[in-house]
């Protein structure tokens, strides 16, 4: 029996109809929102800062977007936002937990206040978001959640609050993936390494040192991180859940020996 004829080209990629992105007033969150809007998603942008300028940019370009004020550490605020999404769109198909902060403080310089604040925003915020969003995603037939972690959630990073929050986010993603699978909700964590954004401004020595350890020889471009977010939200990753996606130019897998070999070149 001959095999069934297959189309010459794959079906078009399907992206979620309605997506909520946190930390979306600027930076990578805004880039994720713009990219989703260009692909037809109605994007709900949420932040403690004003998302209106990015929303205007999206709608002026013909996209659909809505702004929300959201403190991710506030459980009631999360429910206010998801209730608004339900009222305006009737569904939610994707969530990007992008909001986060970093404090580059070494272990003994990290105060209890810094520790609590970083974990509250980076980890508890994502937990509250998943808990508030999952019932609406279930009622929508399922969906995809992308938690923006970091390679600091895979290695022993020098800043304990940031590293602990990102390791926690890795574990949270895996726990949620198992619990929410019966609701057809996928949960994955994305682990960027060094990314060329404004957050690196004023850290030239840190960036130069880190770049020397990257086998690819450069930081990631923001669009490369957005491409991974789009993939994890799309139907192209339909069988992925509980996974860690690392985008770091080989830093975690080979960075140590890459740097050792560079430093020892000519001595081997």
Q: Which residues are part of the catalytic machinery?
A: 162
Contacts of 264 (CB under 8 A, 6+ apart): none
Locus of tokens 């909700």: 185
Alpha helices in the chain, H assignment, sequence order = 27-38, 52-60, 75-89, 112-119, 125-139, 160-180, 204-212, 222-233, 251-263
Q: Say how far apart CA 159 and CA 136 lie, in whole Å.
A: 36
Q: Say how far apart CA 36 and CA 30 lie, in whole Å.
A: 10
Report whether 29 contacts 47 (CB < 8 A): yes
Terminal-residue alpha carbon distance, the chain: 59
Report whether 71 contacts 78 (CB < 8 A): no
Report whether 194 contacts 152 (CB < 8 A): no
Which residues are 188's β-sheet partners? Answer: 146
């Amino acid at each position: 029996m001959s095999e069934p004829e297959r189309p010459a080209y794959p079906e078009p990629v399907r992206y979620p109809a309605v997506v909520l992105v946190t930390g979306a007033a600027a930076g990578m969150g805004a880039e994720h929102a713009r990219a989703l809007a260009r692909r037809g998603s109605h994007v709900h942008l949420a932040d403690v800062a004003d998302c209106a300028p990015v929303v205007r940019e999206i709608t002026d370009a013909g996209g659909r977007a809505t702004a929300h004020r959201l403190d991710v550490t506030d459980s009631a605020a999360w429910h206010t936002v998801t209730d608004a999404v339900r009222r305006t769109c009737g569904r939610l198909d994707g969530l990007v937990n992008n909001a986060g902060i970093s404090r580059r403080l070494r272990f003994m310089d990290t105060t209890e206040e810094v520790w609590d604040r970083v974990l509250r925003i980076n980890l508890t915020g994502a937990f509250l978001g998943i808990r508030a969003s999952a019932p609406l995603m279930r009622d929508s037939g399922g969906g995809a959640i992308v938690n923006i972690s970091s390679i600091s959630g895979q290695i022993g990073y020098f800043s304990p609050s940031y590293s602990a929050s990102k390791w926690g986010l890795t574990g949270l993603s895996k726990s949620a993936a198992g619990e929410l699978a019966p609701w057809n909700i996928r949960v994955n964590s994305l682990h960027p390494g060094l990314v060329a954004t404004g957050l690196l401004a004023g850290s030239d020595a840190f960036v130069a040192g880190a770049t020397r350890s990257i086998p690819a020889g450069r930081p990631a471009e923001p669009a490369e991180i957005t491409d991974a977010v789009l993939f994890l939200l799309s139907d192209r990753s339909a069988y992925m859940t509980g996974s860690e996606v690392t985008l770091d130019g080989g830093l975690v897998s080979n960075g140590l020996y890459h740097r050792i070999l560079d430093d020892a070149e000519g001595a081997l």
